[in-house]
Amino acid sequence: MALLDTARPPAVPGRPPTSELVLRAFAFWITQYRRTWRGTAISTVLEPVGFLAAMGVGLGALVNQHHGTSSVAGAGYLEFIAPGLLAASAMQAASFESTYPVMGAIKWNKQYHAMLATPLRVVDALAGHLLFVLMRLTITCLVFLGVMLAFGAVESPWAFAALPVAVLTGMAYATPIFAFAATRENDSGFAMLFRFGIVPMFLFSGTFFPVSQLPGWMQPIAWAVPLWHGVDLCRDLVFGTATWGPALVHVGYLALWVAVSFVVALRMFSKRLVS
């Protein structure tokens, strides 16, 4: 069989729409995920079960015993931390998906370079990968919500609106970390990111206790952290106490993080991949 089609019409200017090119890049990550999803499936389920059982039920019993069941924001401790953990686990999953895989696609397996030799552009490679992270976060958060339901930690049907909010919270981390990862020569910076960025935010952004209990000078810092906005809104939604004003501020703040970080990430990707 001839490997070439000599009767092909001459090449013409133009390209498919951006959405089409982004989906082509997205399709690659799906293909790869099909090979590896089994490895992540168990931890996706076990993590929320472990957290809710240990912190919510175990530690929660102690907290409730000392303060009465309606001490923290008017609910039991399990109900209090479950929506916070939902947002926090989105953040954690997002940071893993945005560090090593991005560095791998630049340096180790070089999948981005393979994409850029085809009609795909830097923006397509970036957006396609972020779209995949969005899909992964959706699965992670959906499983988490399911586990919350099983633990009886859902108070209101509005809880389902917490799913996109948690995913958005994750994306507010994924996008800047994509930009950060594209500037790294090796993965040693990632350990620092987790140690001095992700873990403190996990602990002090209102997941385990209200930020009003932080020292006064620390509270504005907590308000600037995207996770706090995700935690606060997820909790209001799961309790069914959300109001439009604060909800829009939270969503707007998180969306702004994603938008600004996307522009920065695109610049970093271009610098790294097509100099």
Partner 1 sequence: MVSQMPAQPSTGDPLITARGLVKRFGDFTAVDGIDVDVHRGEAFGFLGPNGAGKSSTMRMVGAVSPVTEGTLRILGMDPAVEGPAIRARLGVCPQEDTLDVELTVRENLLVYGRYFGLAKDVIAERTQALLEFVQLAERAESKVEPLSGGMKRRLTIARSLINQPDILLLDEPTTGLDPQARHVVWDRLFRLKQQGVTLVLTTHYMDEAEQLCDRLVVMDAGKIAAEGSPLELIREWSTREVVELRFPVDETEDAGAKIEALAASEASLAQLVARVEILPDRVLLYAESGDDASAEIHRLGVTALSVLVRRSTLEDVFLRLTGRTLVD
Binding site for partner 1 (CB under 8 A): 1-6, 8, 10-16, 20-21, 24-25, 27-28, 31-32, 35-36, 109-111, 113-121, 274-275
State the minimum distance, in angstroms, from the CB of residue 72 to partner 1.
Answer: 45
Nearer to partner 1, 28 or 144 (CB): 28
8 vs 66, beta carbon nearer partner 1: 8
At closest approach, how far in Å is the CB of 116 from partner 1? 5
**Block residue for tokens 């350990």:** 191
Q: How far is the CB of 130 from partner 1 (least distance, A)?
A: 17
Q: What is the 3-state secondary structure (H, E, C) of 52-118?
A: HHHHHHHHHHHHHHHHCCCCECCECHHHHHHHHHHHHHHHHHHHHHHCHHHHHHHHHCCHHHHHHCC
Q: How far is the CB of 2 from partner 1 (least distance, A)?
A: 7
Closest CB to partner 1 among residues 5, 216: 5
Nearest CB to partner 1, comparing residues 23 and 161: 23
Report in angstroms how near the CB of residue 64 gets to partner 1 at its nearest.
47
CB 230 within 8 A of CB 91: yes
2 versus 192: smaller Cβ distance to partner 1: 2
